[in-house]
């Protein structure tokens, strides 16, 4: 795992010039970087919530002049259908962002369903060990909460292994630190996470 500039020099967000690349997202980054080689100018991007999928799609559209449909399973199917056809005509890339690709995302419009079935798809995976630790560390650092490696390792072994779980844990630790005015320690972290019910300390 490494911290590198995103493809096309994207930041992870408007205030951060680095993206944490790991096995959980490397395939997506590579695919987006080489969009000109896609067999069709459309890709379905799926991944867990809070994994950065929507942010990546926005930055991709901004940098390439393409377009995106976020939360596509909620969008009007005719809208998605026409956007797919427009991308094919203009050859401008389109990212379709969803929790999951069809058939898990049920599409009732037959012409759209057939197009989406033939559309390439890439997925951001749940965080691996290295990414989990890096996101915890950076999340705490962004809150002004430096944490020793022993605490990061302790947290990584006990919180929910998901992007949502990482955010919930960092939020709980931030609240505890503000309330107690103490530096982060394992006992303080254990108490804060147990109170927030975001820990498995078995």
Each residue's pLDDT tens digit, 144-190: 998 999 999 999 999 999 999 999 999 999 999 888 777 889 999 99
**Structure confidence at residue 83 (pLDDT):** 98
Angle at 174 between CA 54 and CA 160, to 5 degrees: 60
Instruction: Kindly tell me if the per-residue pLDDT of 8 is higher than 50.
Output: no
8 A C-beta contact, residue 132 and residue 153 = no
Q: Helix or strand or coil: residue 67?
A: strand
DSSP string covering 111-146: HHHHHHHTS-EEEPPPP-HHHHHHHHHHHHHHTT--
The confidence score (pLDDT) of residue 12 equals 42
Q: What is the pTM of this model?
A: 0.82
Q: Average per-residue pLDDT in the chain?
A: 88
- Render pLDDT for 11-58 as a digit per residue (tens, 0 to 9): 444 444 456 788 999 899 899 999 999 999 999 999 999 898 888 888
pLDDT at residue 6 above 80? Answer: no
CA-atom Rg of the chain in angstroms: 19
Mind listing the domains of the chain with CATH numbers? 2-123 (3.40.50.300), 129-196 (1.10.8)
pLDDT at 21: 80
pLDDT in tens, 76-110: 999 999 999 999 999 999 999 999 999 899 999 99
């Amino acid at each position: 795992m490494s911290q590198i500039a995103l493809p096309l020099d994207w930041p992870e967000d408007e205030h951060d010039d680095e993206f944490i690349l790991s096995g959980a997202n490397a395939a997506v980054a590579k695919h987006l970087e080489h969009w000109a080689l896609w067999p069709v100018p459309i890709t379905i991007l799926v991944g867990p919530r809070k994994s950065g999928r929507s942010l990546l799609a926005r930055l991709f559209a901004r940098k390439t002049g393409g377009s995106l449909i976020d939360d596509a399973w909620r969008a009007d199917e005719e809208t998605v259908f026409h956007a797919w056809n427009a991308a094919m005509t203009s050859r401008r890339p389109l990212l379709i962002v969803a929790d999951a690709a069809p058939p898990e995302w049920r599409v009732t419009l037959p012409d759209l369903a057939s197009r989406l079935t033939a559309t390439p798809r890439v997925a951001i995976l749940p965080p691996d060990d290295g990414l989990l630790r890096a996101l915890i560390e950076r999340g705490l650092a962004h809150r002004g909460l430096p944490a020793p490696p022993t605490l990061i390792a302790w947290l990584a072994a006990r919180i929910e292994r998901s992007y949502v779980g990482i955010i919930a844990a960092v939020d709980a630790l931030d609240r505890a630190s503000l309330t107690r005015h103490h530096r982060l320690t394992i006992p303080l972290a254990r108490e804060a996470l147990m109170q927030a019910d975001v820990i498995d300390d078995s």
